[in-house]
Amino acid sequence: MNFIDKEKYIKYFAAPNQECVANYAGSSIVLGKDMPSDHRSGAGGRLEEKCSSIDIVVGRVPYSQPVDEDGTPLWCYNDFKYDAARIYISQKTNVDEHFNIPDGNVGESRDRSAIAIKADAVRVIGREGVKIVTKTEIHNSQPRKGSTYQNPKMGTIQTIPGIDLIAGANDAEVSKDLQPIPKGKNLASALNYLFGVVNYIAGNQEEIAQKLENLFVEVKNHKHALPPMQAAGAAVLAVSGEPIALTSQAYNPRTSSTFVYQPAVEYAAGLEGSIQMRKYDFFKNDLADLRIEIDNNRENYLQNHNSGQYVLSKYNRVN
């Protein structure tokens, strides 16, 4: 079977400090120094040291024809924006700048080693798991002045770098709207606590409503008989058919607190728990303690980043 491919492919114009391994089908591996576009670009274009790179590319500048009108092959530089698919490895590069990646919360990487994978569709597949990890060591890959093989002095990572998941990186408004990712267990614990509080308060309200309903029924069905006046200047009341005489001087409507109506007090105390003031005093104190507990939990779950219960990640964000 004849597999002769008549398709023509544009060729890569390699710099003097690069070695290109390419085939007839437009696939190439370029060994050299950091050079994201023309020969003057990147750390390699600036003739810096310790900026070696490996560039694996297929489908260079797919928007361009491979030959001119006379059939002469055309040449191209790197095009990190439109080359079809690429795996780029560099010892020192400005990866975010070269690939037009927003800073996000992690920030821009400059003069650092990097690996970038870009294509129309990217899949990371792990048959037994995938991990995305930051800061496995306290040093980066950039040596400091005076570093030797016997006495390496590497750059120190000052912070814990997080992970940004950014969708729509070409939209500035979308890409900058990064928010902390919730921590599942802490969020579930906070919601479970809040549901418990709501259930407790609802239960108390239900019991109070039932007691008030019982009280209203008792009051509605209870009647006082008022006998005729027995003497001038005296008031006579009756509770459950038993007349009680009270002197008129004992009652003043403006200071009713001085009017002691003992049978009514006894009646209220005998409603078999319809009011249960002592129990409701306990409820009141318990609810006061609950408010303090709610304030403490609000701080732990929603305000104090270092509480151990904070529901949001301190390092990882998503839009």
SS3 (DSSP) at 238: strand
Domain end marker among 145, 177, 209: 177
236 and 103 in a common domain: no
pLDDT digits (tens, 9 = 90+) for 165-185: 888 888 888 777 889 999 999
97 and 153 in a common domain: yes
12: phi then psi, degrees, rounded to nearest 5: -90, 135
**What pLDDT does 232 receive?**
43
pLDDT above 90: residue 126: yes
pLDDT: is 155 or 30 the higher one?
30
115 and 229 in a common domain: no
4 inside domain: no
Range of the domain at 279: 186-318
Q: What is the DSSP string of 180-232?
A: EEEPHHHHHHHHHHHHHHHHHHHHHHHHHHHHHHHHHHHHHH--EE-PPP-ST
61 and 191 in a common domain: no
Q: How confident is the model at residue 234 (pLDDT cuts 50, 70, 90)?
A: very low
* Among 107, 291, 120, residue whose Cα is nearest residue 197: 291
162 and 84 in a common domain: yes
pLDDT: is 119 or 290 the higher one?
119
Domain end marker among 151, 177, 203: 177
Residue 257: alpha-carbon gap to chain centroid: 58
**How many structural domains are present in the chain?**
2
Can you tell me the distance from the alpha carbon of 43 to that of 98, in angstroms, rounded to the nearest whole number?
Answer: 11
22 and 56 in a common domain: yes
Can you tell me the distance from the alpha carbon of 4 to that of 237, in angstroms, rounded to the nearest whole number?
Answer: 119
197 and 127 in a common domain: no
pLDDT digits (tens, 9 = 90+) for 42-72: 999 999 999 999 999 999 998 888 888 887 8
137 and 211 in a common domain: no
Cβ-Cβ contacts under 8 Å for 238 (sequence gap 6 or more): 224, 225, 226, 227, 244
Can you tell me the distance from the alpha carbon of 256 to that of 72, in angstroms, rounded to the nearest whole number?
Answer: 113
Domain end marker among 130, 154, 177: 177
155 and 32 in a common domain: yes
| For the chain, counts of helices (H) and of strands (E) | 6, 15
55 and 37 in a common domain: yes
